[in-house]
Copies of this chain bind each other. A is one copy, B any other.
Amino acid sequence: MANIKDVAKAAGVSTSTVSRTINNSPSISLATKERIFSVMKELNYSPNMIAKSLTNNKSYTVTLIVDVEDEKSYQNPFFYEIMHGIERHVYRKEYSLIVANLSSTQKNQSVIEWLIKGKRTDGVILPASILSSAMIEILRKYNIPFVAIGEPVGLKESVSWVDVDNKKGTENAMYYLFEKGYRNIGFLGLNKTQLFSRKRLEGYKSALSDEQHEIDNDFIRECMNTKKEGYQHMIDLLQRDHRPDAIICADSHIAFGAIKACGELHLRIPEDIGIISYDNSQLAEISDPEITTVYVDVFELGLQSAKQLFELIEDPQKIDQGLLISTSIKVRETA
């Protein structure tokens, strides 16, 4: 395959001149530029990125870390959509995207360090679950820009991140339910250890107080993201004297359980009970009835994370910041 020397020879110039026309230097005459470009076409020449990397000290590559321990990113179609968004921006920048798995539990940052030390990557996008202090220390030490997916919690350091606006998303879901006439809304699926869950609860509460409703703590149920627990809590809620007429589920699996519970107690959805869950299109659409959800544009989430990363790569002075992606309501059949 042709290299820069071949082009130079064929065009009767030096490699410097070829290099400068490739990089669009102003000090080359239009005539020679055109000649060189036509030679490049003829020879089917493309610059060798490896060589470019070596001289420019850039890998033209960014890395997406995936948390293999996290069932969420692991089995979830979200993951691919996020990657797709990242990929779009990365290729627009003529970079390529490398993917590496890492386990949050084994605190093993070796892959990252390996990539960095081998000079294989210019930046990293990683789930907040993996962003320990040790990880940050490594990234800072080697001066590698990074962006977290998900708002990091309990960090001294300030970092760049993007996350879903879970609070506002839940608020909007609440307003939507109010609008549809639902008045006694419960919240199913609180998980105090997870920020997104707490944020969703915040939205739930703030919407209630905005609308002058009281907060009934028994309407707020802590449970795992499983169909089973969703079912049990829903049964329990529905058998109270004062039962809810709508439910916000923190997860689609929970919503499946809740729907099953409604079916067993012969409550009609959405007439007797409204249900809104968070988005997992595949599950939401296959459910019967189909689940109305808070829709999260995860493609956009990925895209924005990549954008932030490149801002850091291009301007190392750029200060870190957080960004919230707003949501919308995807109306289906349960509300």
A residues with a Cβ closer than 8 A to B are 1, 44, 46-51, 53-54, 59, 61, 66, 68, 74-77, 79-80, 83-84, 87-88, 91, 96-101, 111, 114-115, 117-120, 142, 227, 252-253, 256, 260, 281-283, 285-286, 288
Q: Is the interface of A mostly helix, strand, loop or mixed?
A: helix
Among B44, B50, B114, B117, contact of A59 (Cβ-Cβ < 8 Å): B50
Contacts of A119 in B (CB 8 A): 48-50
Among B49, B80, B256, B286, contact of A120 (Cβ-Cβ < 8 Å): B49
Beyond the given A46-B118, A48-B54, A74-B80, please list 12 additional residue pairs across the A-B interface where CB-CB is below 8 A.
A49-B120, A50-B50, A50-B118, A50-B119, A50-B120, A74-B84, A87-B99, A87-B101, A91-B101, A96-B98, A97-B99, A252-B286
Contacts of A75 in B (CB 8 A): 77, 80, 281-282
Query: Can you list 28 residue pairs at the A/B interface with Cβ under 8 Å?
Result: A1-B117, A44-B117, A46-B114, A48-B118, A48-B119, A49-B119, A50-B53, A50-B54, A54-B54, A66-B80, A66-B84, A74-B77, A74-B80, A74-B84, A75-B77, A76-B77, A79-B80, A80-B80, A87-B101, A91-B100, A91-B101, A96-B115, A96-B120, A97-B99, A97-B100, A256-B286, A282-B283, A283-B283
A117 in contact with B46 given A98-B96, A142-B1 (CB within 8 Å): yes
Contacts of A87 in B (CB 8 A): 99-101
Q: Contact between B283 and A118 (Cβ–Cβ < 8 Å)?
A: no
Contacts of A227 in B (CB 8 A): 285-286, 288
**Complex CA–CA separation, A84 to B68 (angstroms):** 8
**Complex CA–CA separation, A17 to B88 (angstroms):** 44
**Complex CA–CA separation, A252 to B1 (angstroms):** 48
**Complex CA–CA separation, A53 to B59 (angstroms):** 11
A253 in contact with B286 given A74-B80, A76-B77, A118-B48 (CB within 8 Å): yes
